[in-house]
Amino acid sequence: MSNPLRLFATAVTFLTRLPFARFSYAEPARLAQAAPYFVLVGALVAAIAAFAAWLSLHLLPPTLAPWVALATAIMLTGGFHEDGLADTADGLGGGFTRERKLEIMRDSRIGSYAALALIAVLGGKYLALASLSPSQLFVALWLGHILARWSVLPLAAMLGYARDGQAANKPVADGIGWTQVAAGTLLVFVLIAPFGRLALLAALISAGVVLLAGLYFRAQLGGITGDTLGAANQIVELACYLVCAGAQRWI
């Protein structure tokens, strides 16, 4: 029987640069078992980023707090998800066939589509967070990071891995089923429930983004890759921040 704490450490090790490797499972197959804990990793990243933003508010001009929060999250994850966004943008923007798109996505160099995607998404996240009060900023980070990590679960359950052969993310993409989706979704609602209608709206918008992303990845690639999961993560996070920014008009 798997140890929940070791599964959580496995999820942290996979998704961040935090030094939890000594406590985690080494077997790739354990990644799928650890998938529901991705949601808790999102909560951990959100908490650290929010704390960094809180420090910034006391030490620096308030307009820098969103940037500090974003930079902290990127450092914690090593730009893991942003790299996926960049590779996905280059592949889907620059390739005309499924094979060519997947080939471009393997290339670590940054192309024009990747640069534009990073500017648009990171810029959008900063502007959305900058429009919020400090308390709203902390809520947005909490919702955004949790729901962004949750997005991996339904995408992996809906779609198979698009590449042939073995890859680092294949155990995650092929091993996650609807049991893990249900467990992760339950954790999400426990974590975001205190924020009421705003949390419900963010969750519904996130689910819609995941559904559209899944349909798009199926049409373009026939499935998902680790890069597309990172891209979906970033779009869901942005969508949550935009929901929080527009909440005063909608709710």
| pLDDT tens by residue, 102-129 | 999 998 889 999 999 999 999 999 999 9
What is the pLDDT at residue 43?
Answer: 98
For range 159-167, the mean pLDDT? 76
**How many residues are listed for the chain in this entry?**
251
- Portion of the chain with pLDDT greater than 70, in percent: 94
Whether the per-residue pLDDT at 32 is higher than 70: the answer is yes
Q: How many CB atoms lie within 10 A of CB 109?
A: 9
Model pLDDT for residues 206-228, shown as the tens digit of each residue: 999 999 999 999 999 999 999 99
Query: How many angstroms separate the CA atoms of 208 and 59, rounded?
Result: 38
Domain boundaries, the chain: 47-250
Read off the pTM.
Answer: 0.94
Q: Does residue 185 have a pLDDT over 60?
A: yes
Who contacts 187 (Cβ-Cβ below 8 Å, separation ≥6)? 36, 37, 39, 40
Residues 233 and 151: beta-carbon distance below 8 Å: yes
On the question of pLDDT at 173 being above 80, the answer is no
C-alpha–C-alpha distance, residues 101 and 105, integer Å: 6
Measured between its terminal Cα atoms, the distance across the chain in Å is 45
Query: Three-state DSSP class for 151?
Result: coil
**139-162 per-residue burial string, b: 16 or more CB within 10 A, e: under 16:** bbbbbbbbbbbbbbbbbbbbbebb
